[in-house]
Structure formats: structure tokens, C-alpha cells
Structure 1
Amino acid sequence: MTNSNTIEQYGAAFISHLESKIKAKEPKNLYEPINYILGLGGKRLRPILTLMTADLFGGNFKDAQDAAMAIEVFHNFSLVHDDIMDDAPLRRGKETVHEKWDVNTGILSGDAMLINSYQFFESYSPEVFKKLTSLFSKTAIEVCEGQQYDVDFESRDDVTIPEYLKMIEYKTAVLVAAAMKMGAIIADAPEEETSAIYEFGKNLGIAFQLQDDYLDAFGDPETFGKQVGGDIIENKKTFLFLKSLEYAEKEQREGLLHLYSLKPGDSKTKVETVKSIFIESGAVEEAKKEINQYTQKAFNALCDINIPEKNKHILKEFGENLMKRTV
């Protein structure tokens, strides 16, 4: 069985589990938006990781399906609320929940999703339930902290790269890490191994987000699914922006700061100018280096895990494929 096959199989198993849980319920205006966002697809990266990790650690991946649901529902809840905060028109190439319905619906349906996500842990034994929910709560609060850092950075001119990396660790990477650790917990792996797979997921998650920042500026509009250049339009202080400030010549630096002081607006010229500064300053090269470094850190964490080599190879291959993505 090849790796790509297994990924597809986990994906298919998860989708059918998800579909069995999605029901049309009353009140319609609460549940329809939930079913809409969960049905929009996306990569289903996190739940697949939960199933895959349970399997690779010698458990039955079907036992991890409810934990995978908790992760996916939580992730989508955070997207619904993030989209409101960012006033984003599109998610996965389709209308966002608050655009399709309204802001109040997005808030309430999001709240219901957060509560729902916890209910999925109720199918586990008390001991496993305790481990999963305490990890989940820690992760959920970190995601909120990450989102707050992200919001704070918008009005700050002194954001440092370490602060930025901490923000993406909390906002994005800890959920990937928790998704994997849950799979290992369900497979009854020893504590030090569940911690090691958490490190693997966290570092891969940081690399993934840095890659996302890169693709936001330089991705293909056909495959990326979000508005290319969205971060630039929104004046988001991404790794590329912060590195450019550090590396660029005085004139370029002033130009960049000026462009980022303009009110967000969809200007093709602004996007193109900023992208050329990202390239010329060397920030793009640095971003690629950083992505490789975090991917390597993730792979190093696999040394502390006592699972068959072929299973480690699957994790490694997964990480490598993730870094070659264009979407």
C-alpha cells in the first residue's frame, strides 16, 4: 500500500464519517451554516493526520475518527470567526459564512461548532477522554492567543520575527501538533512518544504556515483557493514582510512601509511592487530556508519515536509532500 493511497483512504474514511455526522437539524439557520462550512472541503489535513498517527502507532484508525471530527469541527469554527474578523469574502473559493448568511449567524454557528467539537470526545473511555480534552483545551486557548497576537500585530510597527513565529505556532501549528498527538494517545503510545509526535506536528505546522505565507504572495490563483496577494492587500506583517524590512535597502524599506500604511484595498500595483521588494531584498530566499529548517526540525523529532522504520518513512514522506504543495 503506497503512502498516497493511505492518505486517500484516511481521507475517504474521514469524509464518510463526517457525512454520517452532518444532519439537517432545527433551527435551520444555526445548523445550515455549520453543514455548509464543513461541506466546503479543503485539505482535511488535520483529521487525516489524527487517523494516520493512530494507525502508524499501532492503533485502529477508526477509533480515532471522533477525535478527528473534534479537530475538524474546531478548525472550521475558528475559520468562521477568523473570516468575520478579517472581513474575508472567500474561503476555499466559495462565499464565507458571514457573507452567505450574516455576521450574527457566523458568530452563533461558530459558537455551536466549538461546543460540538467537545462532544465528540464523549465516545472515549474516561482516561482517554481526560487526556484528549485537556490537550484540546490547551490547544484551543493557544489558538485564541495566536489569533489575538495576529490582530495586535496589525497596529504595531515593531513586530519581531520571533514574535511572528510564536504567533503562527499558536494560531496554526499547535492544532496540527494536537491532531497528531491525539492519534498517538488513542493508539495508547507512551507519553514521551506522544510528546515527540507533537513536536513533529508543531514544527511541520510552522513550516506549513510559512509556506502558506509564501503561497499567498506567489501562489497560482488557479490552485490556491484564496485571493493571491490577500496578505499584502490586508497589510499583514508576514515573515516575508518582516524579513524584507530587515534586509531591504533604505529606499525599498521606506517604500514598503509606505505601501503598508495605505488602507487595505485591492490594488494590483501595490501587490506587484511589494512582491518585487520581497524578491529583491532576499526575503523570499530566507523564507524558503526557514521552511526547510522547520521541516528538518520536524524530521529530527522522529528519532525519539519507537515505531517501525517504514512508519517513520510515511510520516517523513507526508512532510515532504506537504512542502511541495501549490495549494
Structure 2
Amino acid sequence: MYSFNEILEIVNENIGEIKFDHKPESLYEPISYILSLGGKRVRPALVLMAYNLYAGNLEKAIPTALGIETFHNFTLLHDDLMDNADIRRGKPTVHIKWDDNTAVLSGDAMLIEAYKLIGKTDAKYFSRIFDLFSDTTTEIVCGQQFDMEFEKRMDVTVDEYIEMIRLKTAVLLACALKCGAIIADASEQDADNLYEFGINIGLGFQLKDDLLDVYGDSKTFGKRIGGDILCDKKTYLLISALRDNSAKEELAAWIGKEEFDEEEKIKAVTAIYDKLGLKQQSEQLIKEYYLKAVACLDKVEVDKQVKAELYKLAEDLTLRTT
């Protein structure tokens, strides 16, 4: 069995070998740039970790893993443009380093490159992998659309938010795990349980990401703290605060306001969250999803010791502090 760190080394080595020799260089240089920024590489690692539960030679699963990671970075490239974010993993985002049009076109090319990598999946599994990946990409786009629509609404419910992050974030983690299981000839039941495991760690991971956007350390988080607050992003924290009538009145003074002192807004909204105890409330919900994820992994019919790295990863992703 490979450790998570060993799998990460394999993933990073293979990503480093991806070359784009097409013209014009100006279209492909931003793709190489965003892939070079690193990141957690969780999604390709999950493909290989799920595969490694049943088989030892990881080569068969690597093209699928690289396709999923390339697609994930494509979504980040376009998300940063849509959110007008200036920092990604501590570096300038593509639309800042180049321009908006480059971010759009390079993102489009990146999506195509992701599908070309998925196309290298072993023919025996290609149909199932292609269908799962395509369904997942559609769900992610739907999640992004919901996220945009929520920006214009003040009545978004927690249930709607959870469904949005399931689509936008969790399904790709789940897809990665199920792809690895499929390529390793796992049982359908195991593949489905790994998928649900991915859904729950994905929900916990995104909730934690939203929490760290307010309460994290910018040096380790890789993004500016308070970014969600500045753009009135409907996160679990903001949606929950808006359910309180007094807090809703206070927030109304900030939401939609075009001219304001950024640090003052971040401080004021964070104070509202503190007063309502939303940090603790969010942490409790994250823990619930972590426990659901563990329960799903328990059902996977592989020796618990073999699953040890996945148990540890679930804890690291959902209960992390950075």
C-alpha cells in the first residue's frame, strides 16, 4: 500500500511531465502556470488511493487522475475570473497575471485537455469513466450557476446551500474515488460507498473552506481572508446569519454596498458571526459530515488497515486548520 504522501509524489511527478506543445503559446502558458501552482492535489490522489485499495500498479489509473486534476484546475481558473479573485495559492490568478479573455480561452483549452486525458483511460473502463466524469462535470457547472444565482438572493436556505456545494465541490471528490474503484475492478457496492464517502468529505471540506475564509490565516490558507465577505458570497455562515432578524438588519447595511472600507466590512461581518456563535455551529456541522464519511468508508469491504490512509485523509480535509 502507498501512503498518501507517496501517492502525492507520484501525482506531482506525472503532472510535471504534462507538456503543451501546441500553438499559440499564449493560450497554453496559463494552463502550465496554474498547474504549476501546486495545491493539495487531493482529487488525483483520491483516484489512486481508491485504486490502491484493490491493486498495486497505479499506472492504469494515472491518466484518469490527471484528467480529473486538470479539470479541477480549469474550474478554479474560471471561478477566479467570475469571483474577481486576485490570489490563488499565494500567486496572482490567471486573469490578473494575463487578462480576462486569456482566462476564458485558456480555461476552455484546459477543459479540452482534461477530456483528452480521460480519453486515455483503459478501454475496458472507458465508457463507465467517461459517463461518470461527464455527469460530474455537468453537475459542477450547475453548482456554479446556483452559486451565482444565490448572490442575488437574500432568502437562500441552508438546504439549498448544501445542495449547491454538493454539486460544486463534493461530486468531483466522489467521482475521483469511484473512478479509482472502477478501474481496479471493485464491486459496485464498494464503488458506491466510496462515492458517498467522497460526497461527505466534500461537504465537510467546503464548509471548512468557507470557515477558513473568515477565520483562517492568509499565510497558510493561500487566499485573502475575508474574500467571501467582501463579495457577499452566500456561505453557510452568511446564510445562517441572515436567519436572525437582528443580524439581518445589521448585514443589510453591508450587503450590496458598492463603496466601503474593506477591512471595516470584514471586521463588522465577522463580529456578527461571532455574536451568533456561527463558527462553533459550522464546526459541529463539519464534524457531522466527517462522521458520515467514516461510516461510508467503514462499509467498504476492504481490511480497515488497508483503508487507514483514507480515514486519515478524511480527518485532515474536514477537521484541518489551514
Q: Which residue of 2 aligns with 1:305?
A: 300
Query: Post-superposition shift, 1:115?
Result: 1.0
Query: Post-superposition shift, 1:282?
Result: 2.0
Asked if 1:14 corresponds to 2:33, the answer is: no
Query: How many Å separate the matches in 1 of 2:185 and 2:312?
Result: 24
Query: How many Å separate the matches in 1 of 2:145 and 2:119?
Result: 30
Query: Post-superposition shift, 1:266?
Result: 5.5
Residues 219-248 of structure 1, C-alpha deviations (whole Å, 9 max, x = no match): 0111111010000001111101111222x4
1:104 aligns to what SS in structure 2? helix
Aligned in 2, Cα 1:107/1:138: closer, same or farther, shift over 3 Å?
Answer: same
Q: Which residue of 1 aligns with 2:258?
A: 263
Matches within 5 A, 1:95-244: 95-244=92-241
Aligned in 2, Cα 1:61/1:155: closer, same or farther, shift over 3 Å?
Answer: same
The 10-residue stretch of structure 1 (93-102 or 203-212) with the greater mean CA deviation from structure 2? 93-102
Query: How many Å separate the matches in 2 of 1:115 and 1:191?
Result: 29
Q: Which residue of 1 aligns with 2:246?
A: 251
Identity of aligned residues (%): 44
Aligned in 2, Cα 1:310/1:256: closer, same or farther, shift over 3 Å?
Answer: same
RMSD: 1.6
The 10-residue stretch of structure 1 (254-263 or 157-166) with the greater mean CA deviation from structure 2? 254-263
Verify the 8 A CA contact 1:52 1:61 in the aligned structure 2: no
Matches within 5 A, 1:55-134: 55-134=52-131
Residues 112-164 of structure 1, C-alpha deviations (whole Å, 9 max, x = no match): 11111111123233330001110000000000000000000000111000000
AA of the residue aligned to 2:142: E
TM-score scaled by length of structure 2: 0.96
The 10-residue stretch of structure 1 (25-34 or 139-148) with the greater mean CA deviation from structure 2? 25-34
AA of the residue aligned to 1:176: L
Verify the 8 A CA contact 2:64 2:120 in the aligned structure 1: no
Query: How many Å separate the matches in 2 of 1:61 and 1:132?
Result: 16
Asked if 1:35 corresponds to 2:15, the answer is: no
Verify the 8 A CA contact 1:223 1:326 in the aligned structure 2: no
Query: How many Å separate the matches in 1 of 2:284 and 2:34?
Result: 34
Q: Which residue of 2 aligns with 1:283?
A: 278
Verify the 8 A CA contact 2:150 2:156 in the aligned structure 1: yes
Aligned in 2, Cα 1:266/1:90: closer, same or farther, shift over 3 Å?
Answer: farther
Query: How many Å separate the matches in 2 of 1:87 and 1:266?
Result: 18
Verify the 8 A CA contact 1:233 1:265 in the aligned structure 2: no
AA of the residue aligned to 1:290: L
Query: How many Å separate the matches in 2 of 1:118 and 1:141?
Result: 13
AA of the residue aligned to 1:259: W
Aligned in 2, Cα 1:264/1:132: closer, same or farther, shift over 3 Å?
Answer: farther
Residues 298-320 of structure 1, C-alpha deviations (whole Å, 9 max, x = no match): 11112321111102332111111
After the TM superposition, which segments of 4 or more aligned residues of structure 1 sit over 6 Å from their partners? none
1:58 aligns to what SS in structure 2? coil
Query: How many Å separate the matches in 2 of 1:56 and 1:298?
Result: 17
Q: Which residue of 2 aligns with 1:314?
A: 309
Aligned in 2, Cα 1:301/1:267: closer, same or farther, shift over 3 Å?
Answer: same
AA of the residue aligned to 2:287: N
Q: How many positions carry a matched residue from both structures?
A: 322
Residues 6-46 of structure 1, C-alpha deviations (whole Å, 9 max, x = no match): 11111111111111122444210111011001111111111
Verify the 8 A CA contact 1:173 1:202 in the aligned structure 2: yes
Query: How many Å separate the matches in 2 of 1:164 and 1:56?
Result: 33
The 10-residue stretch of structure 1 (265-274 or 109-118) with the greater mean CA deviation from structure 2? 265-274
Query: Post-superposition shift, 1:171?
Result: 0.4
Q: Which runs of 5+ in 2 are unaligned?
A: none
Q: Which runs of 5+ in 1 are unaligned?
A: none
TM-score scaled by length of structure 1: 0.94
